[in-house]
């Protein structure tokens, strides 16, 4: 089959609307009569709530509702506790606050200023408690506990393990054992649009939520449960979302807005300030201990990993991140013996949850740095070592599952080629000197050294999830697509329109994608885990095939021609060889409606999680990624310039190479920020850089001028056209690729993210990092 | 955001009058880049803002008689960066302003606003020190000139009184054969404020000895500073590699930078050592390129 639209680098269908500033996001929305909600937050990282009194705030003119713990403890509107994994969270704090920023009370008023003023009038008395701020200290036997009432010992929120073979036997079989510890900083997603929502309760008891969420159905279900409502009473509408990266999944600010809306009887809008976004959700900081056993010839034998994810004050999605990481922590290598233990540890910091890469960047840093370490000790080429051990089609993964569509070998080879692997590096070669001048030249100070580094990573998508979609043919011959997949810049509207255009032989412009609205668009598990192309894409192929079948069947009936003799082309169904004999889609749509069976089609796609080696009919897919870096290190300042970066993935099939390339670059760009600068800094639990004034993000100038992408295509047997997701393939590769390149440039190994200039210089000076 | 009054005087006199009347309630706003961030973050609650936008006389960059430069209070970083006068008469200033943040900030923010805001990470401030530049401060009470060497009192604090307006910056004509440079180091994102800025101007004799040296550091101390001890050690000497290295070492001993997000005291001292030396090296390179014969 030759494809016409799918596989083409078409521009995004909503690009013009966005560039013109016409696209509407949650923070742009207004509803008549709406109030503005603001949240009072704890100034202490850990404290008992002795007294909360909002009487004065309630009396301020313009205030329509206040929310304190009394509303939750005395009333029965909401469940006291909620949480996706553990019910350890409440709409506002009940007895204790557990991080700076923990919601204590909220106000809805006629405008933001009044709400802000009212917050000052809420009287709160705290009794400070000792806190814990890093996961290692939090596990100490005498550390203060955050959730002892839940029976959480040593602040362990969750523990997930993966075992394959027997690592003890593995150590015995190994010639060399390497053991190291790597750390990653807590960071924030920094999506451009802050969290924003409007919630309205109507008199009949229905709730409408407009929210910039990645999970419309998640918000619907969770909010219904929290407010003890039938799910059908909750409607969630999602406009464009200005970036999510995991930060906008499941309940975030919706519960507070909903409570204020219920209490005031008016719609309530909450849009967070940037600082509050930093309080709402973070990416896990982590300590990863990794031990690897290897044979003299480079064959990996065994790997043991212990990861402590700093999950902050509440479980949120943390245990799910840690659970997934437990299956992935040994990396994409053939290993007979694997043991991973992945902990989520409570600390008095904002909660950590889903973030692009979902726990993998923290472990990939360790396993890919360690691969280079092993190569070095064995005197092997790091590329060769990886090619020797990397998984391929049919390899058994740590989970026992037989892997499919994992084109690591061609990807590695191409990415290495793109960075010029094996060619001169290290700032000593004459070639380099000629190329850039100055490098390694003693007259110019001779302080710059170059090196190249490689890294790969593997990540699974949602292993068990469902996508449904609808499609209808309109009277004007266009097609409307009903999908709950959220457009947050990653391009699914374009991808889905391409699929429909392909299947129905329509121009892209004839396909309109409806915004997610749980009253209208069918169920979809969520827009996360790079899953939409695979899951919703598949559902869409099925819906479009069904629509095509209906169009052809009706035309066949009207024309009295066998379906096989009909062709679908240019928005018409006509008799093969005589294009004039046929009907336009619009005509067919009208006739179908008149006949009482409108042209509507549904598509469903569902995948099941494999358990051990037991095969399942439709497993999900793995993201396969690689990265290569060339750096130049200034040995006097510790500054690392990223001269060139190559981001690569196995896309199965790139449905839109333009958008796919954008995803690879965007993903790697976030990785660049996290490699060099990003870190949420806390002093005694107080965040010190939780605004864009202080928190450093990469700018275009920090992105290398030479920034290439490599896409290989190992078709997935269950993917639409062979495609699978790619949007988290490269982020995890950046730090280890850069770390490996630094090592090759100047001989130091960095194990703690971010790789600040000072850390590089201290490593060079052979000093301990104790001067901060 | 809180409500405030915004007025648009059309002359310097009107602006001064407004400042005198409003007392501590009044504040000048030029480009608004620095000020509005403080307002948005609730760090400053304005009551009366006095905009300089409509005062004609404050615009632009001019060459004065004798080859000096006059920069009006409303000259933006970008105007300074592109000005042919600045390129001719004080190229190092153009070099420094080109480093400020990004084009959007440079298009809105004024050089004078940057100096009055007195963040110690200012890029242009150390350059104005080595240019021996002066500020003109005007108020309803009169007018005075303040050399930039005395302008900065502390981080975010200048000698300007509440009722004073900085109308212009004057850069005196440079003596012939003065070469210079501004080197800047940002360990964070390259568009971030600097970790350190070093400005250098040297006059080299035919014998390659230093006849005059001016060196200043920005960002590493509470206010940008000249380094008179280092300047003195250079004068009369041939600028050898050893001398430049020694100058860097001594400069690092003279400063005591506070530890912050841009690095520890140890690290910043190291950067002072490196960048004082590099500023000298770069100035020497330029002096050579400009035809100074150095053996
Ligand atoms: C993201 C960002 C990055 C930045 N990076 C850099 C950088 O890398 N290097 C650098 O040097 N700077 C940097 N800056 C600072 C920027 O250069 C200044 O904020 C800007 O130039 C201020 O000028 P303005 O005209 O906007 O001043 P305004 O915001 O209008 O005023 C600033 C202050 O000066 C006072 N003021 C202004 N004009 C006068 C006057 N004529 N007389 C008396 N008082 C006056 C105001 O009352 C106010 O207190 C950065 C700023 C931002 C926001």
What would the pLDDT profile of A481-498 be if each residue is shown by its tens digit? 999 999 999 999 999 999
Q: Give the whole-number percent of chain A exceeding pLDDT 70.
A: 96
Please tell me which residue of chain B has the smallest CA distance to A681.
B261
- Band of pLDDT at residue A370, cut at 50, 70 and 90: very high
Are the beta carbons of A212 and A195 closer than 8 angstroms? Answer: yes
Model pLDDT, residue B292: 61
Interchain contact B241–A (C-beta under 8 A): no
> Taking CA B282 as the corner, what is the angle to CA B276 and CA B286, rounded to the nearest 5 degrees?
145
User: Is pLDDT at A609 greater than 90 in this prediction?
Assistant: no
Q: ω into residue A754 within 30 of 0, thus cis?
A: yes
Are the beta carbons of A349 and A312 closer than 8 angstroms? Answer: yes
- The mean pLDDT value for A151-166 works out to 94
Query: Are B190 and A445 inside 8 Å of each other by CB?
Result: no
Model pLDDT, residue A85: 94
User: Is pLDDT at A441 greater than 60 in this prediction?
Assistant: no
Residues of A in contact with B266 (CB under 8 A): 771
**By 3-state DSSP, what share of chain B in percent is helix, strand and coil, each rounded to 5?**
40, 25, 35
C-alpha to C-alpha distances, B82 to A64, B90, B93, B100, B133, nearest whole angstrom: 54, 12, 10, 13, 19
- Rounded CA separation A723/A383 (Å): 27
Model pLDDT, residue A497: 98
Q: Give the whole-number percent of chain A exceeding pLDDT 90.
A: 91
For the four alpha carbons of A295, A297, A300 and A306, in that order, the dihedral sign comes to positive
- Rounded CA separation A64/A61 (Å): 8
* Complex confidence, ipTM: 0.95
User: pLDDT (tens digit, 9 = 90+) per residue, A231-244?
Assistant: 999 999 999 999 99
**Cα B110 to ligand 1 centre (Å):** 6
DSSP state of A706: E
Interchain contact B185–A (C-beta under 8 A): yes
Interchain contact B272–A (C-beta under 8 A): no
Q: Of 3.30.390.50, 3.40.50.720, 3.10.290.10, 3.40.50.20, which CATH number belongs to B178-289?
A: 3.30.390.50
Q: What CATH class has B1-52+63-174?
A: alpha beta
User: pLDDT (tens digit, 9 = 90+) per residue, B154-190?
Assistant: 999 999 999 999 999 999 999 888 999 999 999 988 8
User: Is pLDDT at A430 greater than 80 in this prediction?
Assistant: no
- The mean pLDDT value for A380-402 works out to 96
Taking phi over 0 as left and psi of -120 to 50 as alpha, with beta for the rest, A685 belongs to: left
Average pLDDT value over all residues in chain A:
94
C-alpha to C-alpha distances, B115 to A480, B72, B76, B136, nearest whole angstrom: 57, 13, 12, 13
Model pLDDT, residue A436: 36
Shortest Cα distance from A689 to chain B (angstroms)? 9
- Rounded CA separation A213/A195 (Å): 8
**Cα A440 to ligand 1 centre (Å):** 40
Are the beta carbons of A708 and A415 closer than 8 angstroms? Answer: no
Query: Are B267 and A758 inside 8 Å of each other by CB?
Result: yes
Model pLDDT, residue B206: 80
Distance of CA B158 to the CA centre of its chain: 13
Taking phi over 0 as left and psi of -120 to 50 as alpha, with beta for the rest, A722 belongs to: left
User: Is pLDDT at A177 greater than 80 in this prediction?
Assistant: yes
Query: Which residue ranges make up each domain of chain B?
Result: 1-52+63-174, 178-289
Nearest Cα residue to A747 out of A425, A443, A501: A425
Q: Which residues is A455 bridged to in the sheet?
A: A627
Spans of chain B below 50 pLDDT: 295
Nearest Cα residue to A681 out of A278, A364, A322, A190: A278
- Band of pLDDT at residue A615, cut at 50, 70 and 90: low
User: Is pLDDT at A331 greater than 60 in this prediction?
Assistant: yes
Are the beta carbons of B170 and B69 closer than 8 angstroms? Answer: yes
User: Is pLDDT at A754 greater than 90 in this prediction?
Assistant: yes
- Rounded CA separation A638/A543 (Å): 55
User: Is pLDDT at A405 greater than 60 in this prediction?
Assistant: yes
- Ligand 1 pocket, residues with Cβ under 6 angstroms: B 27-35, 37, 52, 73, 77, 100-101, 105, 108-110, 112-114, 116-117, 122-124, 160, 165-166, 193
- The mean pLDDT value for A657-680 works out to 97
- The mean pLDDT value for A669-676 works out to 98
> Taking CA A764 as the corner, what is the angle to CA A738 and CA A646, rounded to the nearest 5 degrees?
10
Q: Which residue has a Cα nearest atom 40 of ligand 1?
A: B166
Ligand 1 atom at minimal distance to the Cα of residue A693: 1
Residues of A in contact with B185 (CB under 8 A): 637, 639
- The mean pLDDT value for A611-626 works out to 82
- The mean pLDDT value for A563-578 works out to 96
Model pLDDT, residue A425: 63
Query: Are B264 and A639 inside 8 Å of each other by CB?
Result: no
Model pLDDT, residue A445: 43
Q: Name the residue facing B192 among A637, A691, A696 (closest C-beta).
A: A696
- Rounded CA separation A608/B90 (Å): 70
User: Is pLDDT at A325 greater than 60 in this prediction?
Assistant: yes
User: Is pLDDT at A620 greater than 50 in this prediction?
Assistant: yes
Ligand 1 atom at minimal distance to the Cα of residue B122: 11
Interchain contact B274–A (C-beta under 8 A): yes
Model pLDDT, residue A612: 72
Are the beta carbons of A283 and A355 closer than 8 angstroms? Answer: yes
Q: Which residues is B72 bridged to in the sheet?
A: B168
- Rounded CA separation B238/B206 (Å): 11
Shortest Cα distance from B149 to chain A (angstroms)? 28
Q: Name the residue facing B189 among A113, A696, A761 (closest C-beta).
A: A696
**Consecutive H or E run containing A510:** none
Are the beta carbons of A530 and A582 closer than 8 angstroms? Answer: no
Q: Name the residue facing A697 among B102, B189, B259 (closest C-beta).
A: B189
Q: Name the residue facing B189 among A113, A445, A699 (closest C-beta).
A: A699
pTM: 0.95
Q: Is A133 helix (H, G, I), strand (E, B) or coil?
A: coil
Strands of B5-7's sheet in order across: B5-7, B48-51, B26-29
- Band of pLDDT at residue A767, cut at 50, 70 and 90: low
- Rounded CA separation A92/A219 (Å): 18
User: Is pLDDT at A228 greater than 60 in this prediction?
Assistant: yes
Q: Which residue has a Cα nearest atom 4 of ligand 1?
A: B101
Nearest Cα residue to B287 out of B178, B213, B207: B178
Neighbours of A299 (CB within 10 A): 17
Shortest Cα distance from B62 to chain A (angstroms)? 32
Model pLDDT, residue A428: 40
- Rounded CA separation B202/B236 (Å): 12
- Rounded CA separation A368/A331 (Å): 8
Are the beta carbons of B292 and B179 closer than 8 angstroms? Answer: yes
C-alpha to C-alpha distances, A403 to A176, A292, A335, A360, A423, nearest whole angstrom: 27, 22, 13, 18, 33
Model pLDDT, residue B293: 56
- Band of pLDDT at residue A446, cut at 50, 70 and 90: confident
């Amino acid at each position: 089959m030759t494809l016409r639209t799918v596989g083409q680098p078409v521009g995004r269908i909503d690009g013009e609307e966005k560039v013109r500033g016409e696209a509407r996001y949650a923070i742009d929305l207004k509803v008549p009569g709406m109030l503005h909600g603001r949240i009072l937050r704890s100034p202490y990282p850990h404290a008992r709530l002795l007294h909360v009194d909002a009487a004065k705030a309630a009396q301020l003119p313009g205030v329509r509702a206040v929310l304190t713990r009394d509303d939750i403890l005395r009333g029965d509107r909401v469940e006291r506790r909620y949480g996706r994994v553990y019910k350890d969270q409440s709409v506002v704090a009940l007895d204790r606050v557990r991080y700076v920023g923990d919601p204590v009370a909220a106000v809805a008023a006629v405008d933001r200023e009044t709400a802000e003023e009212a917050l000052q009038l809420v009287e709160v008395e705290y009794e400070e408690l000792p806190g814990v701020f890093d996961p290692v200290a939090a596990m100490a036997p005498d550390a203060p506990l955050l959730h002892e009432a839940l029976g959480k010992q040593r602040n362990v929120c969750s523990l997930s393990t993966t075992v394959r073979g027997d690592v003890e036997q593995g150590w015995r079989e190994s010639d060399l054992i390497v053991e190291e510890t790597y750390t990653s900083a807590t960071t924030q997603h920094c999506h451009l649009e802050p969290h924003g929502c409007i919630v309205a309760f109507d008199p009949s008891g229905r709730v409408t939520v407009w929210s910039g969420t990645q999970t419309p159905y998640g918000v619907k279900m969770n909010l219904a449960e929290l407010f003890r409502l039938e799910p059908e009473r909750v409607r969630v509408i999602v406009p464009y979302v200005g970036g999510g990266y995991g930060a906008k999944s499941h309940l975030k600010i919706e519960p507070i807005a909903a409570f204020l809306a219920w209490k005031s009887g008016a719609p309530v809008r909450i849009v967070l300030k940037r600082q509050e976004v930093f309080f709402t959700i973070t990416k896990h900081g982590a300590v990863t201990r990794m031990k690897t056993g290897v044979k003299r010839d480079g064959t990996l034998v065994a790997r043991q990993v212990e990861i402590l994810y700093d999950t902050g004050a509440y479980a949120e999605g943390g245990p799910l991140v840690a659970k997934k990481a437990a299956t992935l922590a040994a990396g994409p290598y053939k290993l007979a013996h694997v043991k991973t233990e992945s902990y989520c540890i409570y600390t008095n910091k904002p909660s950590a949850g889903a973030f692009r890469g979902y726990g993998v960047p923290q472990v990939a840093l360790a396993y890919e740095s360690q691969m280079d370490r092993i190569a070095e000790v064995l005197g092997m080429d790091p590329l060769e070592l990886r090619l020797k051990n990397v998984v391929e089609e049919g390899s058994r993964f740590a989970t026992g599952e037989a892997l499919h569509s994992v084109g690591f070998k061609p990807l590695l080879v191409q990415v290495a080629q793109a960075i010029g692997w094996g060619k001169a590096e290290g700032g000593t070669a004459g070639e380099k000197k000629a190329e850039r001048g100055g490098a390694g030249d003693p007259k110019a100070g001779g302080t710059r050294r170059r090196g190249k580094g490689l890294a790969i990573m593997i990540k699974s998508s949602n292993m068990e999830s469902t996508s449904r979609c609808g499609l209808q043919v309109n009277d004007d011959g266009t097609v409307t697509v009903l999908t709950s997949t959220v457009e947050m810049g990653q391009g699914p509207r374009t991808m889905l329109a391409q699929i429909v255009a392909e299947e129905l032989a329509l121009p892209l412009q004839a396909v309109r994608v409806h915004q997610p609205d749980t009253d209208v668009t069918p169920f979809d598990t969520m827009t996360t885990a790079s899953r939409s192309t695979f899951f919703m894409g598949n559902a869409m192929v099925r819906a479009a095939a069904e629509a095509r079948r209906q169009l052809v069947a009706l035309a066949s009936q009207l024309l009295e021609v066998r379906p096989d003799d009909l062709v679908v082309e240019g928005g018409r169904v006509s008799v093969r060889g005589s294009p004039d004999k046929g009907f336009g889609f619009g005509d067919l749509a009208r006739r179908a409606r008149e006949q009482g069976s409108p042209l509507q089609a549904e598509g469903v796609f569902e995948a099941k999680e494999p358990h051990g080696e037991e095969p399942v009919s439709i497993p999900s897919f793995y993201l396969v990624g690689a990265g290569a870096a060339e750096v130049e290190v200034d040995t006097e300042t510790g500054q690392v310039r990223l001269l060139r970066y190559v981001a690569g993935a196995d896309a199965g099939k790139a449905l839109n190479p333009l958008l796919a390339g954008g995803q690879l670059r965007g993903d790697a760009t976030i990785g660049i920020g996290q490699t060099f600068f990003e870190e949420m800094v806390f002093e005694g639990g107080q965040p010190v850089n939780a605004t864009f004034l202080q928190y450093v993000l990469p700018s275009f100038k920090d992105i290398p001028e030479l920034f290439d992408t490599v896409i290989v295509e190992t078709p997935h047997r269950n993917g639409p056209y062979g495609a699978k997701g790619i949007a988290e393939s490269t982020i995890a590769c950046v730090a280890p690729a850069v770390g490996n390149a630094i090592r090759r440039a100047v001989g130091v190994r960095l194990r703690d993210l971010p790789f600040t200039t000072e850390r590089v210089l201290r490593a060079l000076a052979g000093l301990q990092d104790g001067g901060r | 955001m809180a409500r405030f009054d915004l007025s648009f005087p059309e002359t310097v006199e009107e602006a001064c009058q407004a400042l005198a009347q409003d007392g501590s309630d009044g504040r000048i706003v030029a480009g608004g880049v620095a000020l509005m961030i403080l307002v948005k973050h609730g760090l400053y609650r304005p009551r009366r803002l006095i905009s300089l936008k409509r005062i004609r006389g404050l615009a632009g960059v001019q060459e004065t008689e004798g080859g000096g430069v006059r920069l009006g209070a409303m000259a933006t970083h970008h105007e300074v960066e592109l000005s042919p006068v600045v390129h001719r008469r004080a190229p190092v200033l153009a070099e420094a302003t080109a480093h400020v943040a990004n084009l959007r900030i440079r298009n809105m923010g004024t050089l004078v606003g940057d100096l009055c805001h007195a963040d110690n990470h200012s890029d242009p401030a150390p350059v104005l020190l080595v240019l021996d530049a002066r500020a003109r401060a005007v108020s309803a009470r009169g007018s005075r000139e303040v050399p930039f060497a005395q302008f900065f009192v502390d981080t975010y604090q200048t000698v300007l009184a509440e009722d004073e307006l900085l109308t212009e910056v004057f850069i005196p004509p440079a003596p012939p054969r003065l070469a210079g440079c501004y080197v800047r180091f940002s360990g964070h994102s390259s568009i971030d404020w600097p970790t350190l800025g070093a400005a250098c101007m040297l006059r080299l004799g035919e014998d390659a000895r230093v006849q005059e040296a001016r060196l200043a550091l920005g960002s590493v101390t509470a206010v940008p500073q000249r380094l008179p001890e280092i300047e003195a050690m250079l004068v009369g000497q041939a600028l050898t590699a050893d001398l430049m290295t020694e100058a860097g070492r001594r400069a690092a001993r003279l400063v005591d930078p506070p530890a912050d997000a841009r690095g520890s005291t140890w690290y910043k001292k190291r950067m002072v050592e490196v960048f004082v030396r590099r500023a000298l090296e770069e100035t020497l390179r330029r002096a050579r390129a400009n035809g100074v014969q150095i053996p």
